[in-house]
Protein backbone atom coordinates (compact mmCIF):
# COMPACT_ATOMS: atom_id res chain seq x y z
CA UNK A 1 0.00 0.00 0.00
CA UNK A 2 1.34 3.40 -0.93
CA UNK A 3 -0.24 6.80 -0.48
CA UNK A 4 0.34 10.14 -2.14
CA UNK A 5 -1.24 13.57 -1.81
CA UNK A 6 -4.29 14.05 -3.99
CA UNK A 7 -6.53 17.06 -4.57
CA UNK A 8 -10.26 16.80 -3.96
CA UNK A 9 -12.12 19.75 -5.48
CA UNK A 10 -15.83 20.54 -5.51
CA UNK A 11 -16.99 23.02 -8.12
CA UNK A 12 -20.57 24.04 -8.80
CA UNK A 13 -21.40 20.85 -10.70
CA UNK A 14 -18.42 18.49 -10.36
CA UNK A 15 -16.52 16.62 -7.69
CA UNK A 16 -12.91 16.09 -8.76
CA UNK A 17 -10.93 13.34 -7.03
CA UNK A 18 -7.47 13.66 -8.52
CA UNK A 19 -8.06 13.42 -12.27
CA UNK A 20 -11.50 11.77 -12.03
CA UNK A 21 -14.62 13.93 -12.30
CA UNK A 22 -17.94 12.92 -10.72
CA UNK A 23 -21.02 15.03 -11.54
CA UNK A 24 -22.47 16.06 -8.19
CA UNK A 25 -25.99 15.04 -9.29
CA UNK A 26 -24.65 11.48 -9.88
CA UNK A 27 -23.11 11.08 -6.43
CA UNK A 28 -25.23 8.44 -4.73
CA UNK A 29 -23.41 8.27 -1.40
CA UNK A 30 -20.42 9.70 0.45
CA UNK A 31 -19.35 7.93 3.63
CA UNK A 32 -16.40 6.82 5.73
CA UNK A 33 -15.55 3.31 6.85
CA UNK A 34 -12.63 1.10 7.78
CA UNK A 35 -11.40 -1.03 4.90
CA UNK A 36 -10.41 -4.44 6.35
CA UNK A 37 -8.34 -7.14 4.63
CA UNK A 38 -10.04 -10.50 3.98
CA UNK A 39 -7.82 -12.38 6.42
CA UNK A 40 -10.12 -15.32 7.11
CA UNK A 41 -10.69 -15.88 3.39
CA UNK A 42 -6.92 -15.76 2.74
CA UNK A 43 -6.28 -18.53 5.27
CA UNK A 44 -9.12 -20.64 3.90
CA UNK A 45 -7.91 -20.08 0.34
CA UNK A 46 -4.41 -21.24 1.34
CA UNK A 47 -5.72 -24.45 2.88
CA UNK A 48 -8.00 -25.14 -0.10
CA UNK A 49 -5.11 -24.68 -2.51
CA UNK A 50 -2.82 -26.88 -0.39
CA UNK A 51 -5.57 -29.50 -0.07
CA UNK A 52 -5.71 -29.62 -3.87
CA UNK A 53 -1.96 -29.42 -4.65
CA UNK A 54 -0.72 -32.13 -2.28
CA UNK A 55 -3.18 -34.88 -3.33
CA UNK A 56 -2.50 -34.09 -7.00
CA UNK A 57 1.25 -34.46 -6.35
CA UNK A 58 0.60 -37.71 -4.47
CA UNK A 59 -1.50 -39.03 -7.36
CA UNK A 60 1.27 -38.21 -9.84
CA UNK A 61 3.76 -39.90 -7.51
CA UNK A 62 1.68 -43.06 -7.44
CA UNK A 63 1.28 -42.89 -11.23
CA UNK A 64 5.05 -42.45 -11.65
CA UNK A 65 5.83 -45.31 -9.28
CA UNK A 66 3.40 -47.67 -11.04
CA UNK A 67 4.68 -46.64 -14.48
CA UNK A 68 8.28 -47.10 -13.31
CA UNK A 69 7.52 -50.56 -11.92
CA UNK A 70 5.75 -51.59 -15.13
CA UNK A 71 8.62 -50.27 -17.24
CA UNK A 72 11.10 -51.96 -14.86
CA UNK A 73 13.01 -48.72 -14.84
CA UNK A 74 12.26 -46.63 -11.78
CA UNK A 75 15.03 -44.19 -12.70
CA UNK A 76 13.16 -42.95 -15.77
CA UNK A 77 10.23 -41.78 -13.67
CA UNK A 78 12.29 -40.63 -10.67
CA UNK A 79 13.04 -37.32 -12.40
CA UNK A 80 9.34 -36.89 -13.17
CA UNK A 81 8.40 -37.47 -9.53
CA UNK A 82 11.11 -35.08 -8.35
CA UNK A 83 9.83 -32.42 -10.78
CA UNK A 84 6.24 -32.88 -9.53
CA UNK A 85 7.26 -32.44 -5.89
CA UNK A 86 9.49 -29.45 -6.61
CA UNK A 87 6.61 -27.83 -8.51
CA UNK A 88 4.25 -28.64 -5.62
CA UNK A 89 6.61 -27.12 -3.05
CA UNK A 90 6.98 -24.04 -5.28
CA UNK A 91 3.20 -23.71 -5.48
CA UNK A 92 2.83 -24.10 -1.72
CA UNK A 93 5.44 -21.38 -1.14
CA UNK A 94 3.61 -19.08 -3.58
CA UNK A 95 0.25 -19.80 -1.86
CA UNK A 96 1.83 -19.16 1.56
CA UNK A 97 3.35 -15.83 0.48
CA UNK A 98 -0.01 -14.82 -1.00
CA UNK A 99 -1.70 -15.62 2.33
CA UNK A 100 0.93 -13.74 4.36
CA UNK A 101 0.55 -10.66 2.15
CA UNK A 102 -3.14 -10.50 3.06
CA UNK A 103 -2.59 -11.34 6.75
CA UNK A 104 -0.01 -8.58 7.08
CA UNK A 105 -2.02 -5.98 5.13
CA UNK A 106 -3.19 -3.09 7.32
CA UNK A 107 -6.74 -1.81 7.68
CA UNK A 108 -7.37 1.69 6.31
CA UNK A 109 -9.84 4.36 7.34
CA UNK A 110 -11.22 5.69 4.04
CA UNK A 111 -13.82 7.99 2.58
CA UNK A 112 -15.78 6.54 -0.32
CA UNK A 113 -17.65 8.48 -2.99
CA UNK A 114 -20.08 6.26 -4.87
CA UNK A 115 -21.76 7.31 -8.07
CA UNK A 116 -25.05 6.10 -9.54
CA UNK A 117 -22.95 3.84 -11.77
CA UNK A 118 -20.39 1.29 -10.69
CA UNK A 119 -17.52 3.67 -9.92
CA UNK A 120 -16.30 4.40 -6.41
CA UNK A 121 -13.50 6.75 -5.38
CA UNK A 122 -11.57 5.93 -2.20
CA UNK A 123 -9.32 8.37 -0.38
CA UNK A 124 -7.64 8.09 2.99
CA UNK A 125 -6.36 10.46 5.62
CA UNK A 126 -7.07 11.60 9.16
CA UNK A 127 -10.43 10.15 10.33
CA UNK A 128 -11.62 13.49 11.74
CA UNK A 129 -10.74 15.26 8.50
CA UNK A 130 -12.49 12.62 6.37
CA UNK A 131 -15.65 12.69 8.51
CA UNK A 132 -15.75 16.48 8.20
CA UNK A 133 -15.16 16.16 4.45
CA UNK A 134 -18.22 13.90 4.12
CA UNK A 135 -20.34 16.66 5.65
CA UNK A 136 -18.78 19.29 3.37
CA UNK A 137 -19.43 17.22 0.24
CA UNK A 138 -23.01 16.53 1.33
CA UNK A 139 -23.46 20.27 1.87
CA UNK A 140 -22.04 20.95 -1.62
CA UNK A 141 -24.50 18.48 -3.15
CA UNK A 142 -27.42 20.29 -1.51
CA UNK A 143 -25.99 23.74 -2.26
CA UNK A 144 -24.60 23.89 -5.82
CA UNK A 145 -22.95 27.28 -5.27
CA UNK A 146 -20.56 25.74 -2.72
CA UNK A 147 -16.97 25.23 -3.78
CA UNK A 148 -14.28 23.33 -1.91
CA UNK A 149 -10.64 22.38 -2.41
CA UNK A 150 -8.73 20.11 -0.01
CA UNK A 151 -5.78 17.70 -0.02
CA UNK A 152 -6.37 14.05 0.85
CA UNK A 153 -4.25 10.91 0.59
CA UNK A 154 -4.67 8.63 -2.39
CA UNK A 155 -5.19 4.99 -1.44
CA UNK A 156 -3.34 2.51 -3.63
CA UNK A 157 -3.95 -1.17 -2.95
CA UNK A 158 -2.11 -3.85 -4.91
CA UNK A 159 -5.02 -6.32 -4.91
CA UNK A 160 -8.49 -4.91 -4.13
CA UNK A 161 -10.00 -8.41 -3.96
CA UNK A 162 -8.09 -8.88 -0.68
CA UNK A 163 -10.30 -6.26 1.04
CA UNK A 164 -13.94 -6.01 2.10
CA UNK A 165 -15.70 -3.19 0.22
CA UNK A 166 -19.20 -1.96 0.87
CA UNK A 167 -21.78 -2.74 3.44
CA UNK A 168 -22.13 -5.94 5.41
CA UNK A 169 -25.59 -7.40 4.86
CA UNK A 170 -27.09 -10.34 6.72
CA UNK A 171 -29.66 -12.22 4.66
CA UNK A 172 -31.97 -14.81 6.14
CA UNK A 173 -33.86 -17.27 3.99
CA UNK A 174 -33.88 -17.78 0.26
CA UNK A 175 -31.14 -19.26 -1.84
CA UNK A 176 -28.86 -18.06 -4.59
CA UNK A 177 -28.80 -14.44 -3.36
CA UNK A 178 -26.35 -12.50 -5.54
CA UNK A 179 -27.02 -8.91 -4.52
CA UNK A 180 -29.09 -7.90 -7.52
CA UNK A 181 -32.80 -7.23 -7.76
CA UNK A 182 -34.88 -8.10 -10.78
CA UNK A 183 -36.71 -5.33 -12.58
Residues 6+ apart with CB under 8 A from 140: 10, 15, 24, 146, 147, 148
pTM (2 d.p.): 0.68
Q: Which position has the higher pLDDT, 44 or 120?
A: 44
Structure confidence by residue, pLDDT tens digits, 44-89 = 999 999 999 999 999 999 988 888 778 776 566 778 889 999 999 9
Which regions of the chain does DSSP assign to beta strands (E)?
2-10, 14-17, 20-23, 27-35, 108-115, 120-124, 148-156
> Could you tell me the CA-to-CA distances from 3 to 6, 39, 84, 108 in Å, in that order?
9, 22, 41, 11
Report angle CA 178, 182, 183 to the nearest 5 degrees. 155
Structure confidence by residue, pLDDT tens digits, 93-104 = 999 999 999 999
HSE, side-chain direction, 13 A CA sphere, residue 75 = 0
Give the C-alpha separation, 141 to 132, whole Å.
14
Q: Is the pLDDT of residue 166 over 80?
A: no
Q: How many CB atoms lie within 10 A of CB 89?
A: 12
Amino acid sequence: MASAALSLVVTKRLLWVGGAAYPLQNVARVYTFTLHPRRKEAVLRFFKRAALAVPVAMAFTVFGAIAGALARSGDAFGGFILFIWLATVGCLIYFFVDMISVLSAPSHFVMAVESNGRSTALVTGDPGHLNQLVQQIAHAIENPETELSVRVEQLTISNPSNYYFGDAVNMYGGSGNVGMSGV
